[in-house]
A and B are shown apart, each in its own frame.
Chain A
């Protein structure tokens, strides 16, 4: 049985969650532990923390944050952003992260994926791919219409074909791919399901669709039309437009198997933390 996962994504800087998080009754809207516990209670299957700390000098606070989250929240979580070396990955995993996601550094030096996978296993290496549509008309060097990999938070085009890079990342040991459409990110127009479909067609590891969610139906579309195994969203959850439980109800009505949110209530009524 294939069970689709719903994954809220939290942006953090220097150990604090940033961007709006309109949970009612939080003591501290920026506390990653408190937020993670709330999402757990709602039925989130995993969490992604994206470290947007500008300076790598301040990453120690992120390691501390990972430690606190791992102490108190018992669902899997991934840490991405600024993982440039095996040592960066090691610190996050030792602090209690279940997976690390690599992006720019892996494009620049794909051996990084192999190094992390060799030490910790392929299951803890997520390759994040930021991709933007390109056409032959725009870029004569492309063999056909497709998607180009962008790095540095989506600012820098690489000339690399996203579908080809996805296949290489998996070959080198990525156990999962987090695929973000740069065209859709922030538009609320829905996932680029053709992008996720193009990638699921060439790899046999789980794919997380990301970028563009504006409604709960979009989450369902990512699974049914995009062929993704998991869907990632930030703003629709943070601003309390929708809960994870509502997302799962819509997905279930679309015929998608999800872990029932009620199972998250098992054995208690309050957040674990």
Chain B
């Protein structure tokens, strides 16, 4: 099987290196890229992010990647948002009320309610509300992932929440909306469970790639 091409959107923010390397370990031909053609041709697209919502949205726009990101999410191809990359998929964020999000996931990114230390900077265990999602395949009932965040996504449509985490209160940790999967935690920093989740994504990219689509049409 050829390695699926996964485009990791490169808009000049912090550490994208780990996400790319972890996807390669999962079997992808992962490219850090801002090339519109490559993004349009990729079997799957990853939107990473770290730092502040507004700064990331500004950087994404400055690199001309806002529309390609929205198009990729709408294309039906596997799409993964990570941390602030996940948050940017929402309509807006309380962190930067003037900044507009990508609006792929209708909803608001909100501060973690007062009580525990902010940011949540620790490993935490997921409660899977969509345990059958292929992204969670082979992860067991209570996988641990590494979190660094001060806000979390609150979708208008609650059933799209795929996993939650307890931190003072129940926070949303993962979302599934058709082809779009988005996580608040950092799989690229979550050791074996994280690598397994990214390998699941690569596997989904491989199965939904162009070759497979053609086969499906033949057999249908």
Contact = CB atoms under 8 A, between A and B. Distances in A.
Do A and B bind?
A: yes
A71 interface: yes
Interface of B: 14-15, 17-18, 21-22, 25, 50-52, 55, 116-119, 121-125, 138-140, 143-144, 146, 148-149, 165-167, 186, 188-196
A45 B123 contact: yes
Contacts of A122: 119
Main SS class of interface, B = mixed
Interface residues of A, number: 41
B200 to A, nearest CB: 11
A205 interface: yes
Contacts of B138: 267
Given A74-B22, A205-B118, A259-B123, A121 B191 contact: no
A112 B201 CA distance: 39
A94 interface: yes
B189 A98 contact: yes
Interface string A1-22: 1111100000000000000000
Given A2-B167, A3-B123, A123-B50, 6 more contacts: A74-B18, A74-B190, A75-B146, A205-B118, A266-B140, A266-B193
Contacts of A76: 146, 148, 186, 189
A206 interface: yes
Contact of A93 (B14, B116, B139, B191): B14
A171 to B, nearest CB: 14
Interface string A68-95: 0011101110000000000000000111
B181 to A, nearest CB: 19
Given A75-B189, A267-B138, A97 B15 contact: yes
A94 B13 CA distance: 9
A1 B124 contact: yes
A175 B119 contact: yes
A96 interface: yes
Contacts of A45: 122-123, 146
A5 B144 CA distance: 13
B123 A265 contact: no
Nearest to B148: A123
A264 interface: yes
B188 A74 contact: yes
22 contacts: A1-B124, A1-B166, A3-B124, A45-B146, A70-B15, A70-B17, A74-B189, A74-B195, A75-B146, A75-B190, A76-B148, A93-B14, A98-B189, A120-B51, A123-B149, A204-B118, A205-B119, A229-B117, A259-B144, A267-B196, A268-B192, A272-B191
